[in-house]
Structure 1
Amino acid sequence: MNKFAPLSDFQRPTDGQYQLAFFRFSALEGDRYVLTNQAGEYLVLPRAVLSALIRHELPSDHPYYSRLRSRQFLFDTSSKLGKALLANKVRTKTKRLENFTSLHIMVVSLRCEHSCPYCQVSRQSEDRNAFDMSTETAEKTLSLIFRSPSPAIKIEFQGGEPLLNFDLIRYVVVRAEQMNLSAGRNLQFVITTNLAVVNDDILEFCRLHSILISTSLDGPASLHNANRPRPGKNSYELAVAGIEKARAVLGAERVSALMTTTKASLSMGREIIDEYVRLGFPGIFLRPLSPYGFAIKTKSYTSYDVERWLEFYLDGLNYIIELNDNGIRFRELYASTVLTKMLTPFEPGYVDLMSPAGIGISAVVYNYDGEIYASDEARMLAEMGDKTFRIGNVHKNTYEEIFSSDALLDPIEQSFAGSAPMCSDCAFEPFCGAEPVFHTATQHDFVGLKTRSAFCTRNMRIFKTLISLMEESPKVRELFMQWAN
């Protein structure tokens, strides 16, 4: 018995016939199937049409034929530019790879005056100066950062609470700007802060140097204060006051917020969204807990399963669509990222949804002690004692040693979704990512068994939901096109 059909079954470019391009397909509800090609173009077909297509029995006057040809699912004698166009789309999707690392995260301190039970970082108490990055380490870090070939460099300051070591932030910003006079990069700075210790001097420095602020806001006061305890029990009040103060100095568009879903959040999805709308944010990232740091030690990560989070997420997504129907412009930011991959020729560069994996390629983390990790999640995993994704040290290794290390290249190669079991033949592979850090944390393997992967379960449901919503409502598709662009 022959294992493969003869080559002639796949090549029929003669008049009146067509040649199939490479594509994958997966079942949706009913008798519908979604097809995706190598460039991430997708179409939804009835089963009968898919069957006729595969059997080379779909007539050229069929309503789906021209759609399949225009999106390079098939080629015929009139498709003179089809293959070249498909190749160009694939090149556009993968162009980010040649720029290499653009996001450089500097952990300037592990100190923090909050004690959040879900924190993914092994934070230290506020008076532990031994956990601050030194000027020497910062200098070494900047030297490596400017070795990146990327035309755009974003330096993000994280903690702990990075403002507790603001003197170093000030030093790094000024020094990086000096270095950039000759490097000529598109240079940007972000401070990820809870805003509890922000003051006028810090904000004025941020204004002068065009620094963006990213803060945490878990929802209304009762929820935020419960999720993010601090002395004085006033985390929410300080966060909202800090947001208003930062907007007044920097401008509203330069201040963003991020929430984390705890067990207490699950019944308050619409209230959380309302809080973001009330405070004038343009969107919200409804993100689940990650399996790292204190979130594991305090069992916060296991306090709800992926199905319960999906109920929370999908209800929130539907509510946001309702808000837009009522004239309130507001986005769900994870859906927007996925839709960019689905509906445009561009790769948004979100680390979790990249294949090859975005670790090291899209983002890298320089810890306070000089250790370098392939991603923020890799640093969090290291704080739990697993240094699988430690790729070097700013004091000991060269740029070439760091970014060609086995600790970086092995997980990228092994987890590549295009060849990973159950990913390589999945229709949603062009929209998804390889997440070796997550699967190492949850299954002790770079690839992981996808049937047991919360990452896979979560994304599959979201991908199918977004496609179904667009198929069922032209109005929703128009809204999603706006989000994607």
Structure 2
Amino acid sequence: MNGPVILWNWLASEERGEQDCACPDGTGEVVVLPSLQAEAIEDDCACPDGREAVLLASPVGRGVRRQRASGLYRAALPDRHEVVFQPLGPAAVVVLNRTAAHILDAFALPATPAQVLPRLPGLATDAFHRAVDHLSALNLLQPTEGRTPSPALPASPPTTLTAWLHLTSACNLACTYCYLRLTGETMDVATGRAALQAIFRTAQRHGFSAVKLKYAGGEPTLHFDLLQTLHREALALARRTGLGLQEVVLSNGTRLDDGMLDFLRDAAIRLAISWDGPAHDAQRPFVGGRGSAARVARTIDRALARGLRPHLSITVTAHNVESLPEAVAFALDRGLLFNLNFYRGTGRGTPLVPLTPDEDRLIAALRQALAVIEERLPPYSLIAGLLDRVSLAAPHRYPCGVGHAYLVVDPRGQIARCQMEIEHPVTDVWTEDPLTSLRVVNGGFQNLPVEQRERCRACPWRYWCAGGCPLLTHRLTGRSDRPSPYCRVYKTLFLEVLRLEGLRLLRWKDRRDQDAGR
């Protein structure tokens, strides 16, 4: 009997600096493969808390009876492999070869490993026990006595405080779905410094270990000198406080010259660029109506040529839904990460131009996009960004960090809970503890844990979408405890996305084996 192979993808691991695991030699070994060349997904929201830390099931003794978890989702993959999803497990995607699947199924009834091993002749004892340990850690095997199965949720609160720094409300584009009033107001240096001091002060007060800054607007590169100044200030504060620092610029990609790109590369500041595919010109024209797609595409290619890999943010509306496969192909051709953001309403848009895509059209277009990905499976994972606010990177109770680990600072130093509510500030940067002020807001939408959302609390997918964007749900229903308006889209495509990631893991595991001459 060949050795068991267990592949799984845990995006949180590389965020903590872990490297890819090399496949060990010998058919008697268990192969455990965390994410392959994965990077953190950049989007316009604060990351859900599950991406901060994942709780693997506690180890259990070999004399403990265990059983295959109930409610597993399983789908066949090539070469007698299969993808397995455990709704309460720490990894969305687990790929098993035939031997590993046999081991899992041998525990269909409660048994100890010692009782099961004789039923699997030809399997090395050490390999069997390692496989059982990994299947147990992934919650695919569960103890039958003394423990109640529970979700593998983060063991602690988020460790990173994310702050959106709205450098300016000026922009050179007139995007059809923009939620901002473009007043032209720009943050001054004194306000920016006060904002950074408030952010780092808040992070220390609340026990965060790192700060993530999102330089945004408007178009932040309209005031690149301010961005550079704040970057230097942030570095000094990080050194002084001992906090980690991550930075990203959210840009429309039309004004980034070579000097700016070099600065971002050398400063290790990530770059996210909006790209909407063939409909880009219609959705994201310059002020005055001229298309911006050609310039943005050139910027992306120039960034790559200078050693800077931008992340692409694709907004899906009724106007570009059919061309979604082409937008995805553009990213894959360049080896770039991307995320698909479903239109969430502007709050000021005209009802004469409905931008919300029809559900059936959206599902059909997403399936076509998944087919494009399957044709050219990349060495990096995409499962954290294919279904809007769904993050299959790790289980989580909240869809975003609003009210928990997120600050949005406008050009005047006022602080809101969410960038889409930037015109409704709650506090300001001169407040001693702005995060507490945000956490006690009772009006408007509430970022509830998924267990408190109707029709979500019993859903098997609840810890992977966490109910979707609460602001959008509140805008459309007047309540925050309902599922996302995109719930049917999520549920329809969950398994297809998981299968796709299983194929990707299997493809690149095979490539590695070939490269190693195995």
The SS at the match of 1:260 is strand
**1:433 matched to 2:493:** no
Deviates more, 1:169-178 or 1:208-217: 208-217
Q: How does 1:330-345 map to 2 (within 5 A)?
A: 332-334=382-384
**Distance in 1 between residues matched to 2:385 and 2:266, nearest whole Å:** 33
CA contact (8 A) 2:160 2:210 kept: no
Report the Cα offset of residue 372 of structure 1.
1.7
Amino acid at match of 2:420: M
**1:316 matched to 2:369:** yes
Which residue matches 1:75?
143
**Distance in 2 between residues matched to 1:235 and 1:28, nearest whole Å:** 44
**Distance in 2 between residues matched to 1:106 and 1:461, nearest whole Å:** 36
Amino acid at match of 1:312: A
**Distance in 2 between residues matched to 1:356 and 1:331, nearest whole Å:** 20
**Distance in 1 between residues matched to 2:93 and 2:257, nearest whole Å:** 49
Question: Cα 1:323–1:247, aligned 2, differ >3 Å: closer, same or farther?
Answer: closer
**Distance in 1 between residues matched to 2:299 and 2:504, nearest whole Å:** 35
**1:243 matched to 2:300:** yes
**1:190 matched to 2:190:** no
Q: Which structure 2 residue ranges, 5 or more long, are not aligned?
A: 1-62, 76-83, 96-106, 121-131, 511-518
CA contact (8 A) 1:291 1:442 kept: no
**Distance in 2 between residues matched to 1:144 and 1:41, nearest whole Å:** 36
Question: Cα 1:468–1:232, aligned 2, differ >3 Å: closer, same or farther?
Answer: closer
**1:229 matched to 2:285:** yes
In structure 2, which of residues 164, 169, 182 is the aligned counterpart of residue 105 of structure 1?
164
**Distance in 2 between residues matched to 1:41 and 1:329, nearest whole Å:** 17
The SS at the match of 1:268 is helix
Question: Cα 1:475–1:395, aligned 2, differ >3 Å: closer, same or farther?
Answer: closer
Report the Cα offset of residue 207 of structure 1.
4.0
Q: How does 1:56-95 map to 2 (within 5 A)?
A: 72=139, 74-76=142-144, 83=147, 90=152, 93-95=153-155
The SS at the match of 1:164 is helix
Which residue matches 2:329?
274
Write out the 4+ residue segments of structure 1 that deviate beyond 6 Å after TM superposition: 16-21, 26-29, 40-44, 53-57, 59-63, 66-70
Amino acid at match of 1:37: L
Q: How does 1:330-409 map to 2 (within 5 A)?
A: 332-334=382-384, 347=394, 354-355=397-398, 357-374=400-417, 378-383=418-423, 387=424, 390-396=425-431, 398-399=433-434, 401-407=436-442
Which residue matches 1:424?
457
**Distance in 2 between residues matched to 1:270 and 1:337, nearest whole Å:** 14
The SS at the match of 1:287 is strand
Name the one with the larger helix percent.
Answer: 1
Report the Cα offset of residue 108 of structure 1.
0.8
Question: Cα 1:17–1:281, aligned 2, differ >3 Å: closer, same or farther?
Answer: closer
- CA offset digits 1:413-447 (Å, max 9, x no partner): xx211243222211112222144222112211111
The SS at the match of 2:373 is helix
Report the Cα offset of residue 478 of structure 1.
2.3
**Distance in 1 between residues matched to 2:318 and 2:361, nearest whole Å:** 9
- CA offset digits 1:325-377 (Å, max 9, x no partner): xxx65754545799x976xxx738xxxx6527521434331122322222xxx
CA contact (8 A) 2:248 2:272 kept: yes
Amino acid at match of 1:137: T
Report the Cα offset of residue 142 of structure 1.
0.7
CA contact (8 A) 2:67 2:109 kept: no
**Distance in 2 between residues matched to 1:408 and 1:96, nearest whole Å:** 27
The SS at the match of 1:263 is coil
**Distance in 1 between residues matched to 2:239 and 2:316, nearest whole Å:** 42
**Distance in 1 between residues matched to 2:256 and 2:212, nearest whole Å:** 21
Q: Normalization by structure 1: what TM-score?
A: 0.70
CA contact (8 A) 2:312 2:337 kept: no
**Distance in 2 between residues matched to 1:206 and 1:35, nearest whole Å:** 40
Question: Cα 1:180–1:286, aligned 2, differ >3 Å: closer, same or farther?
Answer: closer
Question: Cα 1:419–1:288, aligned 2, differ >3 Å: closer, same or farther?
Answer: closer
Which residue matches 2:492?
461
**1:285 matched to 2:339:** yes
Amino acid at match of 1:191: V
**Distance in 2 between residues matched to 1:480 and 1:295, nearest whole Å:** 44
Question: Cα 1:205–1:336, aligned 2, differ >3 Å: closer, same or farther?
Answer: same
Which residue matches 2:177?
118
Question: Cα 1:335–1:314, aligned 2, differ >3 Å: closer, same or farther?
Answer: farther
CA contact (8 A) 1:24 1:37 kept: no
Question: Cα 1:201–1:17, aligned 2, differ >3 Å: closer, same or farther?
Answer: closer
**Distance in 2 between residues matched to 1:381 and 1:481, nearest whole Å:** 44
Alpha carbon RMSD of aligned pairs, Å? 4.6
Report the Cα offset of residue 481 of structure 1.
8.8
**Distance in 2 between residues matched to 1:39 and 1:152, nearest whole Å:** 23
- CA offset digits 1:189-233 (Å, max 9, x no partner): 22111232233443344344232221122114xx22122111472
**Distance in 2 between residues matched to 1:70 and 1:331, nearest whole Å:** 22
**Distance in 1 between residues matched to 2:399 and 2:70, nearest whole Å:** 18
Question: Cα 1:261–1:329, aligned 2, differ >3 Å: closer, same or farther?
Answer: same
**Distance in 2 between residues matched to 1:41 and 1:267, nearest whole Å:** 28
Q: Which structure 1 residue ranges, 5 or more long, are not aligned?
A: 1-15, 45-52
In structure 2, which of residues 308, 311, 316 is the aligned counterpart of residue 252 of structure 1?
308
CA contact (8 A) 1:224 1:236 kept: yes
**1:447 matched to 2:474:** no
Question: Cα 1:54–1:277, aligned 2, differ >3 Å: closer, same or farther?
Answer: closer
Question: Cα 1:212–1:283, aligned 2, differ >3 Å: closer, same or farther?
Answer: closer
The SS at the match of 1:178 is helix
**1:156 matched to 2:224:** no
**Distance in 2 between residues matched to 1:17 and 1:188, nearest whole Å:** 43
CA contact (8 A) 1:110 1:122 kept: yes
Amino acid at match of 1:241: R
Amino acid at match of 2:446: P
Greater relative contact order, per chain length (Cα 8 Å cut-off, separation 6+): 2
Which residue matches 2:88?
37
